[in-house]
Amino acid sequence: MQTIAQNFGIVNYLPPVDANGSSLSKSNAAFVNMAGYNKVTFIITAGAMTEASVLVKGYQAKGASGSSVASTALGISHYWTNVASTSTALLTRTAAASSTVTMTSVNNATYVIEFDAKQLNATSNFDYIGLGITGISAAALMGITAILHEARYAGDPMISNASA
């Protein structure tokens, strides 16, 4: 049986931490390589949040270090969240404004943002996507997982039991 870990790229994008506002901007963001995948899904789990408007945007870059990061954010038309009721397991599709996901001060909310590799300017060698997060202080707790999916190439081969 194939597993999620074999067929998807799973990245611990931002381990659960006290967020440091200055280190989450687009110029300091981590970038994931989209060269072998069609989509990336970012799952943001917010813990204790005091800010009423933390802004999250996606940016393209030419390297993992954020080299030549684009000045314009990638388009986001919608995202999913349970911010209206964190006690529900189901996330609600929510319209994004100006390519921005706005996180609120609701503690323990989840936000899911997706980008398609087709949004990248491949002609100019942009193969990486990262999140720029602004309006956040060191008092905020959050973690982010990135899932790269729809692999363009075959996943890891199934592990066989050599003793069988």
Q: Is residue 9 part of a domain?
A: yes
Let me know: does 138 contact 19? Beta carbons within 8 Å.
yes
Let me know: does 81 contact 97? Beta carbons within 8 Å.
no
CA–CA–CA angle 57, 6, 11 (5° rounding):
25
| Residue 99: DSSP 8-state | T
* Digit-coded pLDDT (tens) for 19-67: 666 578 888 888 999 998 999 999 999 887 888 888 999 999 999 988 8
CA 153 to each of CA 73, 159, 163: distance values in angstroms, whole numbers, following the listed order: 28, 18, 29
* Digit-coded pLDDT (tens) for 65-103: 888 999 999 999 999 999 988 888 789 999 999 899 999
Q: Is residue 164 part of a domain?
A: no
CB burial string 34-54: b at 16+ within 10 A, e below: beebebbebbbbbeebebeeb
Domain with 61 in it: 4-151
Q: Is residue 103 part of a domain?
A: yes
Q: Is residue 163 part of a domain?
A: no
Q: Is residue 99 part of a domain?
A: yes
Q: Is residue 160 part of a domain?
A: no
- What is the reported pLDDT for 4? 80
Q: Is residue 69 part of a domain?
A: yes
pTM: 0.88
Q: Is residue 162 part of a domain?
A: no
Number of domains in the chain: 1
CATH code for the domain of 143? 2.60.120
Let me know: does 155 contact 7? Beta carbons within 8 Å.
yes
pLDDT band at residue 111 using 50, 70 and 90 as cut-offs: very high
